[in-house]
Amino acid sequence: MSAIVTLKKGEGRLIKAGGMWIFDNEIDTITGSWENGEIVNIHDFDGYPMGRGFINENSKIRIRLMTRHIEQEIDEAFLRMRIQNAWDYRKTTVDTSSCRVIFGEADFLPGFIVDKYEDVLVVQCLALGMEQFKEQIVCILKEVLAADGILVRGVYERSDANERKKEGLPKVKDFIGEPFDTNVEIVENGVHYLVDVVNGQKTGFFLDQKYNRLAMQRICKGKRVLDCFTHMGTFALNAGIAGAKEVTGLDISEFAIEQARANARLNHLEDIVHFKCANVLDELPRLAAEGEKYDVVILDPPAFTKSREATKNAIKGYREINIKGLKLVKDGGYLATCSCSHFMTQELLAKTVKEAAKSAHKRLRQVEFRTQSADHPILWAADESYYLKFYIFQVVEEK
Query: Which residues does the annotation mark as catalytic?
Result: 340
**At residue 297, what is the residue type?**
V
- Residue 226 CA neighbour count, 13 Å, CB half: 24
Query: Contact 112/147 with Cβ under 8 angstroms?
Result: no
The DSSP symbol for 310 reads: G
DSSP string for residues in 84-130? HHHHHHHHHHS--SEEEEEEGGGGT-TTEEEEEETTEEEEEE--HHH
CA separation for the pair 44, 32 (Å, rounded): 16
CA separation for the pair 232, 184 (Å, rounded): 14
CA separation for the pair 261, 242 (Å, rounded): 18
Query: Which among 151, 164, 80, 76 has a CA at the least distance from the CA of 116?
Result: 151
